[in-house]
Amino acid sequence: MRKLETIEEFHELKNKGKHVFMFSADWCPDCRVIEPILPEIESEFSEYTFIYADRDQFIDICIENDIFGIPSFLAFGNGQELGRFVSKDRKSKEEIQEFMNNLSK
């Protein structure tokens, strides 16, 4: 999963193609728990590009998108929000897969 580098890159990516932004932080224990399953989820849903966004580095993007808990997922397709899985709760592989399966096409 590649890392988001700039706010401009966020706006560029969300407006072009299909992207899932995972908001996380190095200090977040619930984020670390799902790390081992993320490559499998990325390959299962390969029509999306997954982008890691550090919550501390991109707090303005979090505020702008009402992301107040991590780990959280925000999906976009060509500028349209396709879905959000936003909470401070730990997420299971099955919950992330369900979120991905239910994204607006």
The residues carrying an active-site annotation are: 28, 31
Alpha-helical runs (H) found in the chain:
7-14, 29-34, 38-44, 59-64, 93-101
| Full DSSP string of 24-51 | E-TT-HHHHHHGGGHHHHHHHTTTSEEE
